[in-house]
Amino acid sequence: MSNGSAAPIRSKWMSNAGSKRETSSKIPASSRTGLGSFFASDRFRYPSERVYVSRNHQWAYAAWEMARLADSAKFSSGGATLLHVDAHLDDTWDGVLAEGLFAVNSPQSALEVAGRLEIDNFIWAGWAAGVIDRVVYVCPKGLDDSDPFDLSGWNLTGEQLRPLRDLLAKKAYTGHRFESVRELREGLGSSGDVRKLLAPQDQPVILDLDLDVFKLYPERLEDRELMPDDRVREELVYLRDLYPYDLLTVALSPSFCGGEENSARLLGLVREVFGLAEEESVPW
């Protein structure tokens, strides 16, 4: 985006079939040994590039809120478009119930709210809080082929979903879904098409990447095989060059991409493609 001072990055308690919550997001610290500084911290960032990395995906919400707090003018006309590239939709709605969600006014309070979220409900939390307005999903359908924007099967008249119903009365949950980076590339022609999809009203755009999207068979939790490095690198280069993002959030998700070694390997490719120097990372 051109209206901020920082240069942009270039280089359903509903039954969600593909929900990651079925597997614990809590990984024992002992399982993080042997990989040096790759996982020296569960959260680290690259300040000069505005890239935030976390072990578990719900912390991305805190990074989005920090970006809004740091540059309120950029978000003055509304929330960002989220380009969510992930093996899972992460579209469980109960994130809207998180304590303190509507009172975030500092990085610390953003972190406190993120700590109350789960690895599959942080997008709805961001939407409810207004830091996200639209979501473009790039998620394979092998785990969940549902339409994340079709709420017709939800019992919105029931008392359980009343908080969600009240929010939806004020604004719609909108966006688009692609099944893969390849489909995204084939579906977008000109740069004008990209802007129409991601920033039709010149809103901020956040690339939200979960490394488990590069697992070859994400629907097979026990299968550890990744896509070939050349394909991962090609897709990362395409995503990098697609748009001048205002923020990049990355989830390591080792338990969903085949383990610590796989996650470290994929993070290395992200660093290579986005030009991130390991020594410049700091905890957050």
Closest to 263 (Cα-Cα) out of 56, 70, 108: 56
Distances in Å between the Cα of 255 and the Cα atoms of 36, 56, 104, 138, 156 are: 18, 10, 30, 20, 33
Reduced to 3 states, what is the DSSP secondary structure of residue 248? strand
User: Is residue 64 very low, low, confident or very high in pLDDT (cuts 50, 70, 90)?
Assistant: very high
- Output the six-digit token pair for 264: 């470290």
Residues 224-262: pLDDT tens digits?
Answer: 999 999 999 999 999 999 999 999 999 999 999 999 999
Reduced to 3 states, what is the DSSP secondary structure of residue 189? coil
DSSP 8-class letter at 87? S
Q: Where are the alpha helices (DSSP H) in 33-187?
A: 60-70, 107-114, 122-129, 162-168, 181-187
pLDDT at position 39 is 53
Which of 32-36, 116-120, 126-130 comes out lowest in average pLDDT?
Answer: 32-36
Q: How far apart are CA 278 and CA 284, in angstroms?
A: 15
pLDDT at position 189 is 74
pLDDT at position 21 is 66
The answer to whether the beta carbons of residues 43 and 53 sit under 8 Å apart is yes
Q: What is the pTM of this model?
A: 0.88
> Could you give the count of Cα atoms lying within 13 Å of 26 in the half-sphere of its Cβ?
3
Question: Residues near 102 by Cβ (< 8 Å), separated by ≥ 6?
Answer: 128, 129
H helix or E strand, kind and range, residue 45: strand 43-46
